């Protein structure tokens, strides 16, 4: 299964991933000490939803577009994590004069990092890297770096800050190869950065395959770990991308409990009835 990011920009999986990203950053920022943010597969940072692949797919219409419209109409009725997401996306759109664009993880992180925080976004494709560098700009809290995310993960950890968030979001173009590389990356990251929060995104095509992979991954970990999942099609259907998952190592205090609130609310908001849903799975240790 190929995962073309421009094709899927702003879809349900992006929304799920980015709500979680912001919730993790906010949890880490409860302490004044600076944090380190690393995005290993950052992409181009900014995606036009009204042209190209995103317009062809129309997936954003069932993702960010419908959620932002719902939140504008009923702000008091949905989880705080969803409101925070909407506020950050809309603020970036105003500042960037990008009403019909959608930001990637590195750009979203740059919007909320504090002066004492630091970020690095790695992208291997030259054209995508140049777009990312331009989108972030010179003054961003996140620096764009041209390189192989798998290799730079090893080189950049542990950071001087000793606290932070590592986001691993490979394209899964080589499905089996990227899943294996993701397993190795998570284990290597936590060996080098034992106090860090590691968030690995993965696609859900068939839940039975995903569950077997999660079990295998968990057997190699000793730190508290959860999986947070949302699906908009039955997780064993032939729709292709049925759901979105995140393995989170060292989840912040009560993060899993909060996922049990905002993930079902998000699934409902995105129209995931009739086979859709959400769950938070403890994989290793006490996670709630």
- Which positions are annotated as active-site residues? 169
User: What pLDDT does residue 140 have?
Assistant: 78
Pairwise CA distance, residues 257 & 134, whole Å: 38
> Residue 286 half-sphere exposure, CB side, CA atoms within 13 Å?
2
Q: How many domains does the chain have?
A: 1
**Of 126, 176, 174, whose CA–CA distance to 147 is shortest?**
126
For position 10, which CATH number holds?
A: 3.40.50.150
Q: Which pLDDT value is given to residue 275? A: 74
For the residues of 230-269, what is the DSSP string, one character each?
EESS-TTSSSS--EEEEEEESPPTTHHHHHHHHHHHHHHH
Which uninterrupted H or E stretch holds 284? strand 277-284
Torsion sign, CA atoms 226, 230, 234, 238:
negative
Instruction: Identify the pLDDT of residue 56.
Output: 45
Distance of CA 67 to the CA centre of its chain: 17
List of the chain residues with pLDDT < 70: 1-7, 51-58, 74-76, 238-239, 272-274, 286-288
pLDDT of residue 239: 66
CA angle 267, 228, 226 (to 5 degrees): 160
Q: What is the SS3 assignment for 56?
A: helix
pLDDT at 142: 97
CA distance 185 to 86: 31
pLDDT score for 1: 39
The whole domain housing 48 covers: 5-284
- Looking at the whole model, is its pTM more than 0.75? yes
Report residue 197 CA to chain centroid gap: 13
Give phi and psi for 2, each to the nearest 5. -85, 140
Q: Considering only CA atoms, which of 183, 188, 212, 186 is closest in space to residue 198?
A: 186
């Amino acid at each position: 299964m190929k995962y073309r990011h421009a094709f899927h920009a702003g879809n349900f999986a992006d929304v799920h991933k980015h709500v979680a990203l912001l919730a993790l950053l906010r949890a880490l920022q409860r302490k004044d000490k600076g944090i380190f943010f690393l995005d290993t597969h950052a992409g181009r940072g900014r995606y036009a939803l009204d042209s190209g692949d995103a317009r062809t797919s129309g997936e954003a219409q069932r993702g960010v577009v419908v959620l932002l419209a719902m939140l504008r109409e009923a702000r008091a009725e949905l989880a705080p994590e969803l409101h925070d997401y909407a506020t950050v996306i809309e603020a970036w759109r105003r500042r960037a004069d990008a009403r019909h664009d959608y930001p990637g993880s590195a750009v979203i992180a740059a919007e909320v990092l504090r002066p004492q925080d630091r970020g690095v976004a790695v992208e291997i494709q030259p054209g995508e890297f140049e777009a990312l560098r331009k989108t972030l700009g010179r003054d961003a809290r996140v620096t764009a770096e041209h390189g192989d995310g798998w290799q730079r993960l090893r080189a950049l950890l542990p950071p001087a800050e000793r606290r932070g968030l590592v986001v691993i979001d490979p394209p899964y173009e080589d499905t089996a190869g990227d899943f294996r590389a993701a397993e190795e990356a998570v284990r290597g990251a936590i060996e080098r950065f034992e106090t860090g929060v590691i968030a690995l995104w993965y696609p859900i095509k068939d839940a039975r395959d995903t569950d077997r992979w999660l079990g295998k991954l968990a057997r190699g970990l000793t730190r508290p770990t959860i999986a947070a999942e949302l699906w908009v099609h039955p997780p064993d259907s032939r729709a292709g991308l049925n759901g979105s998952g995140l393995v989170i190592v060292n989840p912040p205090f009560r993060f899993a409990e909060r996922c049990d609130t905002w993930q079902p609310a998000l699934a409902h908001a995105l129209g995931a009835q009739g086979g859709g849903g959400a769950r938070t799975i403890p994989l290793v240790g006490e996670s709630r």
